[in-house]
Amino acid sequence: MLDIRLYMLQRLTALIMAPLTLVHIALMIYAIQGGLSAAEILGRTQGSIFWFFFYGLFVASVSIHAAIGLRVIISETLKVRGTQLTILSWAFFLIALYMGAKAVIGVTLS
């Protein structure tokens, strides 16, 4: 039952990530073609609650999605099962979420 729930959660995060990824890529193309520097881009994102929630949702979705995918890869290739697999999955999720959250906070709220 857990496998089905994780499968569905991974699909749900993919649905969330798809439009966010497209918006992110479109913005990066716009910024590069517009000749914006990194400082100018940061100046536009600093203090923005919208970008905080946009990239916060992006980071949370990617962290969940990647942790579930890595769980499957570890299980299939290294034959790790049970509690060890759960601990590794949670550890990767928490590390990815922490690192992503630090970046989002640094880019939007600093």
Q: Which of 31, 35, 57, 32 is nearest to 45 (CA)?
A: 31
User: What pLDDT is attached to residue 41?
Assistant: 87
Q: Is the dihedral of CA 99, 101, 105, 107 positive or negative?
A: positive
pTM (two decimals): 0.90
- The pLDDT of residue 36 is 87
Q: Which segments in the chain show pLDDT lower than 70? A: none
Domain boundaries of the chain, sorted by first residue: 2-108
For residues 42 and 40, give the distance between their C-alpha atoms in angstroms, rounded to a whole number. 5
Q: What is 2-108's CATH topology? A: 3 helical TM bundles of succinate and fumarate reductases (1.20.1300)
